[in-house]
Amino acid sequence: MYNAVGHVPAVHTLPGGEEVLGVTSLGDEVYVLRREEYMHLTSEMVEVQDYTVEVFDVINYYRYQRSLSVKNIRGLTDMTSCEHYRCVYIGDPIVECIHRLDVQGASTRWAVNDIPWGLSVNAAHNVLVTCRHVRKIKEFSSHGDLLRELTLPDDVIHLQHAIQTRNGEFIVCHGDSGDQVHRVCKISADGRDVIKSHGGRPGSDIGQYNWPRHLAVDNNEFVFVADLNNRRVTLLSPTLDYIRQVVSPDDLQSDPDRLCLDIHRRHLYVADNDQVYTAGRVVVFSV
């Protein structure tokens, strides 16, 4: 399906602005989550931040459509979407909750009771929340009912992101600055076993990562990996064998922080944030 060689062209770049904290697609639209430029104190003297979800129309060459405001949040980690329920989910690590935002902008929230990090939606339309400090994946219904939680093996340290395959297994990436192991792993459906892995000690060679930050998986279980500090996106086979680099440092201004794959259009959206996280943009690649 994918060639072992060849360059993936960038087909568009969305407007730059504040740091991109999440990017996801929903129908014919792309949603980009950004921090606004100010903080303020609530009546309880709690420092909060307002965030904006910018919405772009894919059909009309990514024309800006509207903004959805997400008010009075302490912090954000990731965003994902659900076609079935027509909504997006946003992780708040300070309040330890998930914000659910529908396409009209109405929002609710529900507790995770751990710090949410990466987010994804599985084939059952449930939300998978990676809790990186406790090595857990928590599965919630769309309205916040905790369905199950899985504790991953001891060597899966600083879990970043997880996506569930159609047979129930999980593709996860883990490793943070200072960790001895940076990998992409296939985990059994019960969360107990590492079936296959790619990576090891951090580095810049083909078989290495330096902070594998975010994932995207297509319908055939090919895996795209945002390799943050190496400033590249790597493509792996369904068995986690290396295929090629699909996005190189030359394609980006700085660091690939988050990914979203529009499976129907074969467009990969890459959040390209500067190293001090004050500015960012989304680059669109045809894969």
pLDDT at 37: 53
99 three-class SS = strand
Burial 158-181 (b: 16+ CB within 10 A, else e): bbbbbbbbeeebbbbbbbbeeeeb
Report, as an integer, the average pLDDT of 98-122.
94
5 sits in which H/E element: none
**Which 8-state DSSP code applies to residue 251?**
G
For residues 190 and 180, the answer to whether their CB atoms sit within 8 Å is: no
- 4 lies in some domain: no
- 92 lies in some domain: yes
pLDDT band at 104 (very low <50, low <70, confident <90, very high): confident
* Residue-number span of the structural domain to which 205 is assigned: 10-286
Q: What is the reported pTM?
A: 0.94
pLDDT at 46 over 60: no
pLDDT at 156 over 80: yes
- 210 lies in some domain: yes
- At residue 244's C-alpha, the angle toward residues 173 and 171, to 5°, is 25
pLDDT at 69 over 90: no
Give tens-digit pLDDT for 206-247. 999 999 999 999 999 999 999 999 999 999 999 999 999 999
Helices (H), 79-209: none
For residues 38 and 50, the answer to whether their CB atoms sit within 8 Å is: yes
pLDDT at 14 over 80: yes
- 257 lies in some domain: yes
pLDDT band at 103 (very low <50, low <70, confident <90, very high): confident
The domain total for the chain is: 1
Average pLDDT of the residues of the chain: 92
Report, as an integer, the average pLDDT of 74-103.
94
**216 closest CA partner among 151, 276, 285, 275:** 285
pLDDT at 205: 96
Report, as an integer, the average pLDDT of 188-204.
97
Q: Compute the Cα dihedral for 237, 240, 243, 246 and give only its sign.
A: positive
The pair of structure tokens assigned to 204 is 């810049």
- 248 lies in some domain: yes
Q: What's 159's domain CATH number? A: 2.120.10.30
Q: Is 213 left (phi over 0), alpha (psi -120 to 50) or beta?
A: alpha
pLDDT at 41 over 50: no
pLDDT at 188 over 80: yes
pLDDT band at 47 (very low <50, low <70, confident <90, very high): low
- 1 lies in some domain: no
- 103 lies in some domain: yes
- 16 lies in some domain: yes
pLDDT at 40: 45
- Size of the chain, expressed as the number of residues it contains: 287
